[in-house]
């Protein structure tokens, strides 16, 4: 995936106001099959998949044995056939992890890395439903979030269409066999979708407070990234024992969102200290400049007893005031656009 195509702000406005085209080159795809595929996936992810119906998608976390984050995954259910999708930055590590686990679990399961077999494109923005409708044989209004269908496109190619937006706006992904990838990309461009890169997408995701695991997950647990809502403690999974112990001990630091006072133009680097009256209370985990808010916004990990909204903290370098705040930072445009 490219970081930028032209100008990050222009690409950001496409996502918030029109329709951006995301080339998900490098997106990790793993097919999990076999009579015990569901049991296997429930063991390696923080959410069981037994409840999934065909055509539904579950979001879950993959953890290391010490309870720290490995990746976020989307699990697509097609009966006993599952497709696991992970962000490019974690694709190689997850492929190694799942293939090794499948080979040693002793279950009736087969794990196949199919990343190179497909091209995946995303269309995101308030105008994206009109484009996605052109690939569906039914009204798009009946397509629920976290669902997918397989349609026929072009030279009788199977096209997987999912409603799995990642920017806070309406959003869809299209999976196509690699041989038809360029044709689909050109077709989407012809329909009006314009390329956007990771930088613009990252801004949108921060505004919604969607965790960026590439920036925030280094050695962190779900509690320290605000992703505990993606953990189902009602079943056994890799990392559960360590995560439970971490919770019982009480996480020393918790995540907060913050917005900088006027006058700060450049986002501080991850690791920049912040505190009160010279006393360090935490550090920045990720920050971006929001064109619509015209402020630098970000996340930080701070001492648990001060992890609350409405607190004034000071960045160490450059010295600048920030205010902790509740998420999201703004309301996505699509909330005011009827799906039709």
pLDDT digits (tens, 9 = 90+) for 121-140: 999 999 999 999 999 999 99
Strand, helix or coil for residue 190: helix
Q: Are 225 and 46 contacting, i.e. CB atoms less than 8 angstroms apart?
A: no
What pLDDT, on the 0 to 100 scale, is given for residue 218? 84
Q: By CB neighbour count within 10 A (0-12 exposed, 13-18 middle, 19+ buried), where does 330 fall? A: middle
Domain limits, CATH 3.30.1360.120, in the chain: 8-203
Domain 252-328, CATH among 2.40.10.120, 3.40.50.300, 3.40.50.10490, 2.40.30.110: 2.40.30.110
Q: For residue 297, give both structure tokens.
A: 């916004």
Q: What angle do CA 214, 329, 313 make, to 5 degrees?
A: 80
Which helix (H) or strand (E) is 272 found in, with range? Answer: none
**Is the pLDDT at 177 greater than 90, yes or no?**
yes
Q: For residue 72, give both structure tokens.
A: 């976020």
**Under CATH, which number does the domain 8-203 receive?**
3.30.1360.120
Domain limits, CATH 2.40.30.110, in the chain: 252-328
Q: What is the pLDDT of residues 8-50, one digit of tens each?
A: 999 999 999 999 999 999 999 999 999 999 999 999 999 999 9
Which helix (H) or strand (E) is 237 found in, with range? Answer: none
| Per-residue DSSP letter, 261 | P
Query: For the residues 321-335, what does the mean pLDDT come to?
Result: 97
Distance spanning both ends of the chain, measured CA to CA: 30
Give the phi and the psi of residue 20 in degrees, each rounded to 5.
-95, 150
Order of strands across the sheet that contains 57-63: 57-63, 69-78, 81-86, 28-33, 110-113
**Is the pLDDT at 115 greater than 90, yes or no?**
yes
Mean pLDDT of the chain: 96
Q: For residue 221, give both structure tokens.
A: 């647990």
**Is the pLDDT at 222 greater than 90, yes or no?**
yes
**Whole-angstrom Cα distance, residue 149 to residue 227?**
28
**Model confidence band, residue 217 (pLDDT cutoffs 50, 70, 90):** confident
Beta carbons within 8 Å of 100's beta carbon, 6+ residues apart: none
The percentage of the chain sitting over the pLDDT mark of 90, rounded to a whole number, equals 96
**Model confidence band, residue 185 (pLDDT cutoffs 50, 70, 90):** very high
**Is the pLDDT at 337 greater than 90, yes or no?**
yes
| Per-residue DSSP letter, 315 | E
**Is the pLDDT at 340 greater than 90, yes or no?**
no
Beta carbons within 8 Å of 235's beta carbon, 6+ residues apart: 42, 48
Count of other CB atoms within 10 angstroms of residue 2: 12
């Amino acid at each position: 995936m490219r970081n930028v195509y032209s100008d990050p702000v222009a690409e950001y406005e496409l996502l918030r106001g029109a329709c951006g085209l995301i080339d998900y080159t490098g997106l990790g795809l793993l097919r999990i099959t076999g009579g015990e595929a569901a049991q296997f996936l429930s063991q390696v992810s923080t959410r069981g998949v037994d409840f999934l119906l065909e055509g539904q998608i579950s979001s879950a976390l993959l953890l290391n044995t010490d309870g720290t984050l490995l990746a976020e995954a989307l699990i697509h259910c097609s009966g006993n056939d599952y497709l696991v999708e992970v962000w490019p930055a974690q694709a190689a590590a997850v492929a190694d992890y799942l293939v090794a686990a499948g080979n040693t679990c002793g279950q009736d399961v087969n794990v196949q890395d199919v990343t190179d077999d497909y091209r995946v494109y995303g269309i995101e923005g308030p105008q994206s439903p009109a484009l996605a409708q052109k690939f569906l044989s039914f009204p798009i209004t009946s397509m629920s979030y976290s669902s997918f269908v397989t349609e026929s496109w072009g030279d009788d190619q199977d096209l997987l269409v999912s409603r799995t937006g990642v920017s806070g706006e309406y959003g869809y992904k299209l999976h196509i066999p690699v041989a038809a990838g360029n044709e689909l990309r050109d077709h989407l461009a012809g329909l009006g979708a314009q390329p956007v890169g990771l930088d613009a997408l990252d801004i949108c995701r921060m505004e919604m407070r969607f965790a960026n695991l590439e920036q925030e997950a280094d050695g962190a647990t779900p509690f320290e990234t605000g992703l505990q809502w993606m953990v189902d403690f009602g079943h056994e999974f890799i990392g559960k024992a360590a995560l439970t112990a971490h919770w019982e001990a009480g996480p020393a630091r918790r995540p907060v969102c913050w917005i900088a006072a006027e006058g700060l133009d450049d986002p501080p680097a991850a690791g920049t200290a912040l505190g009160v009256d010279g006393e360090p209370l935490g550090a920045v985990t990720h920050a971006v400049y929001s064109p619509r808010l015209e402020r630098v916004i970000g996340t930080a990990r701070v001492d648990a007893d001060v992890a609350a909204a409405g607190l004034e903290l000071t960045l160490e370098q450059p010295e600048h005031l920030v205010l902790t705040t509740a998420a999201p930072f703004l309301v996505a445009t699509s909330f005011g656009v009827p799906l039709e």
